[in-house]
Amino acid sequence: MLRLCLLAFALLTFTCPIRAAEPPDPLRLLPESSQLILKIEKPRQLAEAVVSLDVLATAQQIPQVRAVLESGNASRALQMLAYFERELGAKWPELLDRIAGGGIALGASLGDNEPALLVLQGTDANESQQAFELLVKVVEEELTRAGIPIKPEKRAYKGSTTVKLGDITAAQVGTVILVSNKPEPVHSALDKLKSGKLAGGALTNKSVRDARQRLPQNPLAWLCVDLATLKQSQASKDFFDATRKDFLQTIVVGSSIDCVRRSDYIAAGLFLEKTGFRLAVRLPAGRSEFPPEFALHVPPEGKMGSLPLLEPAGVVYSQSFYLDVAFMWQNREKLLNEETRTGLEEFEKQVSKILPGSVKVGDLIESWGPYHRLVVLNQEKLPYNTEPGQRLPGFGYVASMRDPKFARGLEAALRSGGVIGSLQYAMKYKQETFDGIKIVGYRFAEGKPVDLDPDDYRYNFEPCFCVVDDYFVLASSFEVARKLIPEVRRTAKLPGTPAVWKAKAYGEGGAELLTTVADPLITETILSEGIGLDEARQQVKYLAKYVRQLGTIRIELDERDTEYRLDVVWELKK
């Protein structure tokens, strides 16, 4: 009976699924005061996600990439990997799981020669030990081979052994491997390991905890930069002050920098999504505490952040954002420093000279809407019979209007500009109607050299403009304007998004652009690789095909009430 009971116990023990204990968090071993924390939660998952990308496999066929992979250093790195696999008896994904399956964490203080500690939390003590010893051996052999007179020194520390190699100190204890540029962080981590505590270290850092919670679930890797201490430095204070005083920086990145200024940390995470990857950046500060003058960056409560992106045929890049120029103009006394104001007043005077009498600069700016869209696109046809020295893509700008007088004023201003252009560059007036919309523009005279444009870039452009409902459209050519008119109408029916700034780059359009402007790229390929014309042409074709596979990259900036969100999303082509 007793035997039967023991047998039953043994069977239960070995057959029941037992959940293996989760390895402890490597963050516990990083100094609590670390200003930069990087953690790869599941190294194997991250590596496999990257390695399994089709675009990565295809990239290896690109001759330039192949050249790098075939170079001595790269091929040796691959050999070293194969050696580790051979010696440790497993393929790299499995090894990664055993040596760092509990995560890889890096903690550092920012600044020159500040301490940094790398922790690899493994799942198999035996494997960690073998890998560590093998690594020390390989490094020693490499140093000997290179004639560098540095030898690994084994040192005892409270019953543990550390290895010192030049400035680097490393140790392996159980399932943990530690590497640092200073001995102290390693010693401190060894003390913690000896104490057996599973908490403490960077886990108790409030910013780190908050940062992790602010990010979405299941990141492949994430990062936290502790700004609280960094902001105390005089250099940081000077930076924020200088930025605030700089007109251009205020316009472009003023709100972002203000959010950084008010945040105790920056959190960023890399995520695997169904269609690709997402890099999410989060700050615990938002628009609710913006100074009033920052209304130029964010819409009033309840209004959309930005209009839908324009995506006409052949689009390469599209951008949509909110910027209330009229608000800035009305509040220039508060927003701008004296120097900038004086410059602006001078600008107003100069521009007024060429504007028709009925148009005032202030009226023009105040009737300018806060929603802006830019688009870069491929053109199907060149606007002229004369080929430009270099073909450039077309581009367009679409502005919302607060008042139709914006269009009337700008039209008058552009016509004045056109008259000056026609005198200086022999430009000719052109007008056409497309889909009920009048497009007005100017063409350069052909066959007349212009000293300022020896490469004939001007033959890419026939600047023109038109008004589509509540939007003013400025285009680099009539073809671009014709493509934008239906697109403006289409997107007018779509809802906007809360993001105040967004942009998207398109692999398909980029590939088309590469084909259009292939000549300089082919030349670059010949000169970089020493190959002939036919081979270079093939390579550039291959590159264009590769770029087409890249899909799209989208960036969105959403400044919420109490949170700043920046997302970069790479959507791979299916």
| 526 contacts other proteins (rule: CB under 8 A) | yes
Residue among 436, 324, 420, 427 at smallest CA distance from 371: 324
CB of 75 to other proteins, least distance (A): 9
Q: How many angstroms separate the CA atoms of 128 and 193, rounded?
A: 15
- With binding defined as CB under 8 A, does residue 519 bind other proteins? yes
Of 448 and 493, nearer to other proteins (C-beta) is: 448
Rounded to a whole number of angstroms, the minimum distance from the CB of residue 135 to other proteins is: 11
CB of 250 to other proteins, least distance (A): 33
Widest pairwise Cα distance in the chain: 112
The C-alpha atoms of residue 170 and residue 485 are separated, in whole angstroms, by 64
The amino acid that residue 556 corresponds to is: E
Nearer of residues 69 and 279 to other proteins, judged by Cβ: 69
CA distances to 237, 282, 404 from 361, rounded to whole Å, are 36, 39, 15
Q: Provide, rounded to whole angstroms, the least separation between the CB of residue 140 and other proteins.
A: 9
Nearest residue (CB) to other proteins, 159 versus 530: 530
Query: Under the criterion CB under 8 A, does residue 527 sit at the interface with other proteins?
Result: yes
Residue 62's alpha-carbon distances to 258, 433, 451, in angstroms, are: 42, 46, 40
Binding residue for other proteins, selected from 387, 435, 469, 561, defined by CB under 8 A: 387
| Vertex 96: Cα angle to 92 and 101 (nearest 5) | 155
Q: How far is the CB of 517 from other proteins (least distance, A)?
A: 9
- Write phi, then psi, for 345 (nearest 5 degrees): -65, -40
Q: Does residue 390 bind other proteins (CB under 8 A)? A: yes
Q: How far is the CB of 525 from other proteins (least distance, A)?
A: 9
Instruction: Indicate which single residue of 426, 531, 555, 568 sits in contact with other proteins (rule: CB under 8 A).
Output: 531
DSSP state of 306: B
| Rounded Cα–Cα distance for residues 171 and 65 (Å) | 36
The interface with other proteins within residues 132-171 (CB under 8 A) comprises 137-138, 141-142, 144-145
Per-residue H/E/C for 68-105:
HHHCHHHHHHHHHHHHHHHHHCCCHHHHHHHHHCCEEE
Binding mask 82-121 for other proteins (x = CB under 8 A): xxx-------------------------------------
Binding window for other proteins (CB under 8 A); candidates: 259-267, 508-516, 519-527, 554-562:
519-527
Question: How big is the CA angle at 319 (ends 314 and 322), to the nearest 5 degrees?
Answer: 155
Nearest residue to 122 (alpha-carbon basis) of 193, 59, 72: 193
Which amino acid does the sequence have at 369? G
Q: Minimum distance between the CB of residue 390 and other proteins, rounded to whole angstroms? A: 6
The first and second tokens of residue 236, run together, are 């940081």
Output 264 or 453, the one with its CB closest to other proteins. Answer: 453
CB-nearer residue toward other proteins: 77 or 228? 77
Residue among 111, 166, 356, 389 that touches other proteins (CB under 8 A): 389
Structure tokens at 204: 């108790």
Binding mask 54-83 for other proteins (x = CB under 8 A): -------------xx-xxxxx-x--xx-xx
Q: Are 255 and 290 in contact (CB under 8 A)?
A: yes
Q: Which is nearer to other proteins, 149 or 530 (CB)?
A: 530
Minimal distance, residue 448 CB to other proteins, in Å: 11
Write the interaction track for other proteins spanning residues 435-464; mark x where CB under 8 A is met and - where it is not. --------------x----xx---------
DSSP class per residue in 271-287: EE-SSEEEEEEEES--G
Residue with tokens 């790195």: 77
Tell me if 306 sits within 8 A of 399, measured CB to CB. no
Interface pick for other proteins out of 248, 274, 534, 574 (rule CB under 8 A): 534
Contact footprint for other proteins (CB under 8 A):
67-68, 70-74, 76, 79-80, 82-84, 137-138, 141-142, 144-145, 387, 389-391, 449, 454-455, 519-520, 522-524, 526-534, 536
